Amino acid sequence: MSDMEKYNKPWDSNLITREYFDSLLVEMRHIDSVIPSTKLELFGETFDTPIMMAALSHLDNVCENGMVEMAKGAHAANAVNWAGMGDEVEIAAITATGARTINIIKPYADNDYIFRRIEHAERCGVMALGMDVDHSFQGNGKYDVVLGEKMKPKSLIELKEFVKSTKLPFIIKGVLSEQDAYKALEAGAKGIVVSHHHGIMNYTVPPLYILPKIAKVINHQIPIFVDCGIVSGMDVFKALALGADAVSAGRVIMEPLRKSGSEGVKDQIIKMTEELAGVMARTCFQDLNHIEPSVICHRNGW
């Protein structure tokens, strides 16, 4: 981040997040190191990488059938795919690619509609589903409206009902506090996403800043995922070291998707995974389960 950007946009949560990523330094540890494995075990399945697609939506402005192309790329890289807001036809087309997909459903005001979307996602064969609870309000304190669809915040009781309505793992996205981490556990969530939804509010804490506190609350009971600002294998490593089980990459795959479709997505995932493996080899971590926070050092000022 340039000094000019920090001066002009001190409120920008995405710039703050990037600055925090860059404030984290990594020790090198070479003695007894081995060729590392980047394989991820998640919900009883094995993937080649902890780098997943973000819960994006409406990518036809990036390339034709953008969401389906992203899924094809994730499948080719043996990575977890996520899908955000989209109609039922699109969700069916995404899962038909063979990509193991997690479908995140918006907090629609109409709970009956949410239950119907859960049922449809199940019929399509998603591996898990969930809700981005941070998309409930506009910046003016009123309920959010997304593409004409009315949203509404959900209570703990409502979240418990959504969790109980499906046999699939239910994931709560938009957890950025210890308070919500406790409530996610109480709701019966089988995973959380630590995220500020690409700066949905100004001056939000960077996900990696709050991640160690959230990880302490979760205490390995359910998987923790992180998104927002992941652009390299080094970013992935820092998130894993501070408590994440896997991460989601979103905007970093937009240009490869635009240029080369699914091949570009696959190549970007593989490139970042190789970068991650390189850091793991030079820090003496043989697999994802052994990465731990003592390897991270902080610059002065944080």
Which residues are annotated as catalytic? 197
Pairing of strands 45-47, 40-42: antiparallel
Q: Which value, to the nearest 10 degrees, does the dihedral of the CA atoms of residues 107, 112, 118, 123 take?
A: -150
* Residue 90, both tokens: 């699109």
Distance CA 1, CA 260 (A): 28
Q: What are phi and psi of 108, to 5 degrees?
A: -55, 150
3-class SS at 140? coil
Distance in angstroms between the alpha carbons of the first and the last residue of the chain = 15
Q: Measured between alpha carbons, how far is residue 67 from residues 53, 144, 208, 261, 268 in Å?
A: 10, 24, 27, 10, 16
Q: Which residues pair with 101 in a beta bridge?
A: 81
Nearest-angstrom CA–CA distance, 58 and 85? 8
Give the C-alpha separation, 75 to 248, whole Å: 15
Residue 154 CA neighbour count, 13 Å, CB half: 31
